[in-house]
Amino acid sequence: MDKVFIEALEIECTIGIYDWERRIKQPIVLDIEMGFDNRRPAASDAIGDTLDYKAVSKRLIQFVGDSDFGLVETLAERCAAIITGEFGVPWVRLKLSKPGAVRGARAVGIVIERTREA
C-alpha cells in the first residue's frame, strides 16, 4: 500500500485535564501516514486524483484549533475519524505528541492505527 504522509504538523489547542491546562493553548504535533493508491494520480498528474495533503492539513488545523478535549486519546480518535471519514482514507496511522508535557521528556503522546468502517 502506498502512503501519503504529513510530518510534524504543529497546532495550538486547548488540551489537558488540569485546571491550568484549560486556561491556555498548548502545541500538539501530528505525524500522519495515510494509505492511498497513488497509481491513478501518478498516471494523470492531476491534483483531483490525489489525496490532497494540504486539504487534510487545513481541516485538521481548523478542527484541532477549535477543539477542547481533556485527553490526547480523544483528540487522536477524532482526527483519525475525520481522515478516514471525510477523506475516504482506508487506513491511517496517527501519532499525536504533546511536547513538554512531562519534565525531562521531549514529548509524550500516543500512536493509533485505524481503518475506515465499511
The verdict on whether 98 is a catalytic residue reads: yes
Angle of CA points 18, 22, 27, to nearest 5°: 100
3-state secondary structure 26-54: EEEEEEEEEECCCHHHHHHCCHHHCCCHH
What cell was used for 2?
A: 502506498
Of 3, 25, 58, 98, which is the active-site residue? 98
Q: Where are the beta strands (DSSP E) in the chain?
A: 3-15, 26-35, 68-69, 91-99, 107-115
Best CA proximity match to 112, nearest among 25, 46, 33: 33
Catalytic positions are: 98
